[in-house]
């Protein structure tokens, strides 16, 4: 959970509300007393927020156990539909996944993090429903690195200053200079690779979707490390990925 800002902009009641929502997400549902104990909040405070959330269909009360409601799903779908790149990429990602028999993902950049907004796990390597909506650090993800490589340097510095370079695995880049060196290689090469940097046993390749000179997303091919070897990535997957992203970029421009 994010640390709330301490510059006076944060409203305590709002922070409490979001803390309750995140806790319900983590626990898959809880009662008033459990939430109060877990979050060190008065039961009356928790109850007031839950009543408000229930009134607006954001939580469901099942015999005193509260869980998140499908209103969040409706809101999430609405947000995703606002991204032109989602509509431009969806059909092409489906085709790419079918052609190469691997999982393909669309990841967008939001507030210095990467967010999985669409994916096709054609060979059942992933449970894609549990991945959609996941937020990841950009520096330890192939799509994230592809996006960072095409952002202005001052924006990359701001992202690092805000989110840091936490290690996801022992292979994650945690040094700023090393990251900038790799971003330069990615710009020259045209794609980013991830060899078990965010998840053990996973390899991936990604290239950015550029629109009006800015990276609006990254398209990633991901799979088990023993299948997506560096040799296979470079000989069999690079060209199909670059062709797919080129088509997506054309669709963004010409609709």
Average pLDDT of the residues in 21-30: 93
Query: Residue 163 and residue 228: Cα distance in Å, rounded?
Result: 29
Asked if 156 and 146 count as a contact pair (C-beta separation under 8 A), the reply is no
Same-domain status, 28 and 106: no
Q: What residues make up the domain containing 156?
A: 82-254
Q: What is the pTM of this model?
A: 0.87
Same-domain status, 168 and 96: yes
Q: How many residues does the chain have?
A: 255
Is the pLDDT reported for residue 129 higher than 70? no
Residue 2's pLDDT is what? Answer: 55
Residue 255's pLDDT is what? Answer: 75
In a domain, 220, yes or no: yes
Residue 3's pLDDT is what? Answer: 56
Q: Which of 110, 108, 112, 104 is nearest to 85 (CA)?
A: 108
Residue 131's pLDDT is what? Answer: 82
Average pLDDT of the residues in 6-16: 71
In a domain, 6, yes or no: no
Query: Residue 87 and residue 91: Cα distance in Å, rounded?
Result: 8
Asked if 205 and 233 count as a contact pair (C-beta separation under 8 A), the reply is yes
Q: Would strands 103-110 and 113-121 be described as parallel, antiparallel, or unpaired? A: antiparallel
pLDDT tens for 155-200 read 999 999 999 999 999 999 999 999 999 999 999 999 999 999 999 9
Sorted by sequence, the CB contacts under 8 Å of residue 150 that are 6+ apart come out as 187, 208, 210, 214, 215
Is the pLDDT reported for residue 140 higher than 90? yes
Average pLDDT of the residues in 125-135: 73
Average pLDDT of the residues in 117-137: 78
Same-domain status, 215 and 161: yes
Residue 125's pLDDT is what? Answer: 58
The last residue of one of the domains, among 48, 70, 92, is 70
Same-domain status, 204 and 135: yes
Residue 82's pLDDT is what? Answer: 94
In a domain, 7, yes or no: no
pLDDT tens for 40-83 read 999 999 999 999 999 999 999 999 999 999 999 999 999 999 99
CATH number at residue 147: 3.30.450.40
The last residue of one of the domains, among 21, 45, 70, is 70
Same-domain status, 33 and 145: no
Asked if 23 and 58 count as a contact pair (C-beta separation under 8 A), the reply is no
Q: Which of 215, 238, 219, 241 is nearest to 148 (CA)?
A: 215
Residue 124's pLDDT is what? Answer: 59
- From residue 115, give the alpha-carbon distance in Å to each of 27, 71, 232: 22, 20, 26
Q: What secondary structure, in 3-state letters, does 164-207 show?
A: CCCCCCCCCCCCHHHHHHHHHHHHHHCCEEEECCCCCCEEEEEE
At 5, the pLDDT band (50, 70, 90 cuts) reads low
Query: Residue 250 and residue 255: Cα distance in Å, rounded?
Result: 8
Q: Which of 182, 242, 231, 177 is nearest to 209 (CA)?
A: 242
Same-domain status, 65 and 147: no
Query: Residue 10 and residue 3: Cα distance in Å, rounded?
Result: 11
Q: How many domains does the chain have?
A: 2
Same-domain status, 38 and 140: no
Asked if 152 and 214 count as a contact pair (C-beta separation under 8 A), the reply is no
Same-domain status, 143 and 210: yes
Same-domain status, 37 and 125: no
Hey, how many other C-beta atoms are within 10 angstroms of the C-beta on 187? 13
Same-domain status, 96 and 160: yes
Residue 130's pLDDT is what? Answer: 61
pLDDT tens for 207-242 read 999 999 999 999 999 999 999 999 999 999 999 999
Residue 17's pLDDT is what? Answer: 94
Same-domain status, 221 and 147: yes
Same-domain status, 149 and 47: no
CATH number at residue 45: 1.10.10.10
pLDDT tens for 82-107 read 999 999 999 999 999 999 999 999 99
Residue 247's pLDDT is what? Answer: 98
Residue 9's pLDDT is what? Answer: 46
């Amino acid at each position: 959970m994010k640390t709330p800002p301490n510059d006076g902009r944060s409203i305590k009641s709002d922070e409490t509300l979001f803390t309750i929502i995140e806790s319900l997400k983590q626990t898959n549902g809880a009662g008033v007393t459990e939430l109060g104990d877990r979050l060190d909040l008065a039961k009356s405070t928790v109850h007031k927020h839950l009543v408000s959330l229930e009134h607006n269909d954001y939580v469901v009360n099942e015999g005193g156990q509260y869980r998140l409601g499908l209103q969040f799903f409706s809101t999430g779908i609405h947000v995703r539909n606002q991204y032109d790149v989602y509509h431009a990429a969806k059909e092409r990602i489906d085709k790419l996944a079918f052609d190469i028999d691997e999982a393909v993902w669309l990841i967008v950049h939001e507030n210095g993090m990467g967010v999985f907004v669409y994916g096709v796990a054609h060979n059942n390597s992933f449970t894609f429903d549990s991945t959609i909506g996941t937020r990841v650090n950009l520096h330890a993800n192939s799509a994230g690195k592809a996006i960072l490589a095409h952002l202005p340097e001052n924006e990359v510095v701001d992202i690092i200053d805000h989110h840091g370079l936490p290690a996801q695995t022992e292979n994650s880049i945690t040094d700023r200079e090393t990251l900038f060196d790799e971003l330069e290689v990615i710009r020259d090469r045209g794609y980013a690779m991830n060899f078990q940097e965010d998840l053990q046993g996973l390899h991936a390749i990604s290239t950015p979707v550029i629109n009006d000179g800015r990276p609006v997303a990254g398209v990633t091919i991901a799979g088990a490390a023993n299948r997506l070897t560096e040799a296979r990535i470079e000989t069999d997957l690079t060209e199909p990925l670059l062709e797919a992203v080129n088509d997506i970029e054309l669709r963004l421009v010409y609709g």
